[in-house]
Structure 1
């Protein structure tokens, strides 16, 4: 009973910020005092109506989905075979390769964003969706690689020894033996990639703050020099949360299974 009460208390505490954001989003400007709404005031739907009619903001949501999906797919496609090779195979230069992958995340985004800006400006990639997709792929690649490498490394060696006795090639061992056992982990990595890309702000602001801006940058449009459109901003925040919430809801089983992969060993 106590455990159930504690779980429900934690759930309510986690939902409270979203409930507050949703209520402010449905509040008229006259019903908001100091950023807090009048909870008993009538619902005001025009914040959301105006957003759905805002082609610029809805386009930013569409671009965010496009960049997140494509960059996640590329990162998974590139990192999965590399992670398998480093986890299950012995070859010269493996440690150097892993260190090189790790080095891509050794510095924070604010340190490397200017060199990347100069690079993409020289090749005509500023304010383009493809440049932001490439950048998000690069940012997520190291995390994806090491996450999947741990999944492949946790697989029991006996199944690979049996595959060797059957004369399986490395490609067949990867496709027929390893992949079915780690696909939930790959799905979890894909979900994390999507979330990281969706929430990324520094590169999105620097490389694509114009026509190719994503939803995280579009949210800045509600902040003016001397005022903040609190109601519309909270409505926009609610819409920005929904795609991530949908992805997490649809992939919750794969996410829990994948993130707990290898946690218990016999």
Structure 2
């Protein structure tokens, strides 16, 4: 929609986690460093938690892309699985043929044999689960039992959990204390600071091919920070809507009016939604303005 208008090659604020847009902001770099050190240690569970939209899935994908060849990874992006489904998913990720296998003891034995075979070949096996707060309690216990599999030298599998803060609340339960004690490394993602928001926005625009004067000036960036609370996903939503409005009005940059309208139009934006009054919804404004521009080009 607005790519040509602003000289962009791609949309800079898409919501799909794209490692091509990864930027070395402190919380994300620190999380990756914790993960890398923990995996090299070869012990236990590793946990990364953060609020919705703080970048957990992006970090997860970045980690998967950068794992050395000595690692074999089983990745479960949607772990709302009972223990049987969990074992089957892990077996499939490890390349185990499970057709005709219905006995859980047999399935566990096949997984252990594959882990031993991979370990003998010099491989480190890591099980990565995104959205881990969705795991049922008995599935979390099944995960703990996976880490009981070991040789005399090391564990046969490490588990990396990415989850929302609800995961910490779950693990605080008395019945999950054994798993909690297995967590050897953990990191909690924080929102971005106002300076990090400014750098984040500039970086994504640059990656998208933008080369002109700043589209978001200091005042606009500060308002973007307040509206998003420093949460990357909300930054993307608000910046995208603000660019849509700017394009719809034929402007060459984003104004505070555009960002306030974007905040008002976004469910999870901050209290600025209540403080700003527009009589016409943002999307309708954009459509009307865009239609006027198109008519002028015909």
**TM-score normalised per structure 2:** 0.22
Tell which has more relative contact order, 1 or 2 (C-alpha 8 A, sep 6+): 1
